[in-house]
Structure 1
């Protein structure tokens, strides 16, 4: 399946909301996202428009030839690094290469500088995928807010010296 990869725009807010809420209800969500569905569903239209607008962060979506969205990857800049968040593919679009295309868009957006992300210890499929892209563990971890006995591991793709705030 061929996809067009692009950044969301403010007017995409409803579709972005639908995709994010689907992600948070997916059976893999408990180990893939720290944002609870119950919080996301309460966000205002203005918050969704802000998320879609690309002012503070960017979200790349993969759009099929029919206009259907198959997945997304978010990225933002903090402390001279690009952080990738919200990686999600709808079930029918998994295994199509879309995740790799979306990650490439986020890495390209980072403009050659270090990219970091976190992967839950109970998500070995994602960890293997990120390793295939060249990500390596930094040694930093965070506790899962829903279960502090579980960890999310930080991974890094070192491709430069840092980014300027945009």
Structure 2
């Protein structure tokens, strides 16, 4: 890891759709992207500006979804995660039933040069604080079985396997959970 300037972790803003797009495209070029994300760089890159504008606005203003970013002093986005509040009785984003109110952490990405310094924990703290303010008591995330680096990082932050496993086009995933 290189020495970096101080970082601010905060909720993304509605007008930051260009930054939202740029960091998502960077994430989709990461070597782990094929097992970490449910879309390809090519698909994301082809989406029109209006898609990114809507995505940024929703993630900045909704009570059901919030994007958190780490930003350096120069304004460069270096990490992100998004929290999706899932309600009991609904169908969760991957198609299964939601049994309890929870926040699903998705879109997790930290630029390689910023990994290993606790930034992921700071991002998750922001998302989980927001979720607690929404009355949520549990966080969950899904991770590919062939992504041991991510699994180790999540375990370090107190996430444990729930026992739920499922298969997507990218292969087998496991759910990890943590009380808030």
Quickly name the TM-score band, shorter chain normalised: 0.7 to 0.9
| TM alignment of 1:16-165, pairs within 5 A | 16-53=20-57, 54=59, 55=62, 56-79=64-87, 80-111=101-132, 113-146=137-170, 150-159=171-180
Q: Secondary structure at the match of 1:11?
A: coil
- Quote how far apart the aligned CAs of 1:110 are: 1.4
Deviation at 1:36, TM superposition (A): 2.0
Q: So what's the TM-score if we normalise by structure 2?
A: 0.81
For the residues of structure 2 that align with 1:59 and 1:51, how far apart are their CA atoms?
Answer: 9
Match of 1:9 among 9, 13, 18: 13
The 8 Å contact of residues 60 and 74 in structure 1, kept in 2 or not, is answered as yes
Unaligned runs of 5+ in 2: 88-100
- Kindly provide the CA deviation profile for residues 97-154 of structure 1, in whole angstroms up to 9, marking residues without a partner as x: 21111111111111051111001101111111111111111111221313xxx31100
In structure 2, what is the Cα distance between the partners aligned to 1:140 and 1:38? 30
Q: Unaligned stretches of 5+ in structure 1?
A: 160-166
Kept after mapping to 2: 8 A contact 1:62/1:72: yes
User: How many residues matched?
Assistant: 156
C-alpha distance in 2, partners of 1:5/1:77?
20
Alpha-carbon RMSD:
1.5
Q: Distance in 2 between matches of 1:152 and 1:21?
A: 22
In 2, Cα distance between equivalents of 1:21 and 1:142: 26
d(CA) in 2 for partners of 1:46, 1:78: 25
